[in-house]
Amino acid sequence: MGKPNNPRKVGDREALAIATTLRGSPYKLNLVAGLIRGRKAGEALNILQFSTKGMAPEVRKVLASAIANAENNHNLDVDALIVHEASVGKALVMKRFTPRARGRAARIEKPFSRLRVVVREMADTSEDA
């Protein structure tokens, strides 16, 4: 008797990718994640490719990983994928100190973020039209 299998964290027609320590604040990361929520996967990759936001390359890597997971691990159709979920959370915060006037010190916080991207294969409904 072995250990039971780990249950899937997403549905049958979904694939997941998680980045646990992205250097940057969750607020700034959420602005970029909001650009791709609910869009087709290919369109979302193009948006992130040409975005001027600093967190866009990291979000693009995670989205590309989710698409690759969908194709290779779950045998989903890449052309029918949409970004079902792009959720952002807080991770650790590095604390640093910098010298200030009169022998004092000021605290500098360097935040890290988590990003969870779920892509879902949509059924083709364009045949009815």
Instruction: Please state the three-class secondary structure of 108-123 as a single string.
Output: EEEEEEEEEEEEEECC
- Cβ contact 114:22 at 8 Å: yes
Say what the pLDDT of residue 127 is. Answer: 53
Strands 105-121 and 14-23: antiparallel
Indicate the fold that domain 14-121 takes in CATH: Ribosomal Protein L22; Chain A (3.90.470)
Residue pLDDT tens, the chain, 129 long: 788 888 888 889 999 999 999 999 999 999 999 999 999 999 999 999 999 999 999 999 999 999 999 999 999 999 999 999 999 999 999 999 999 999 999 999 999 999 999 999 998 655 554
Say what the pLDDT of residue 126 is. Answer: 57
Radius of gyration, alpha carbons of the chain: 19
Say what the pLDDT of residue 86 is. Answer: 97
Say what the pLDDT of residue 129 is. Answer: 45
Which residue bears the tokens 């970004």? 83
Say what the pLDDT of residue 92 is. Answer: 96
- Cβ contact 90:37 at 8 Å: no
Say what the pLDDT of residue 5 is. Answer: 84
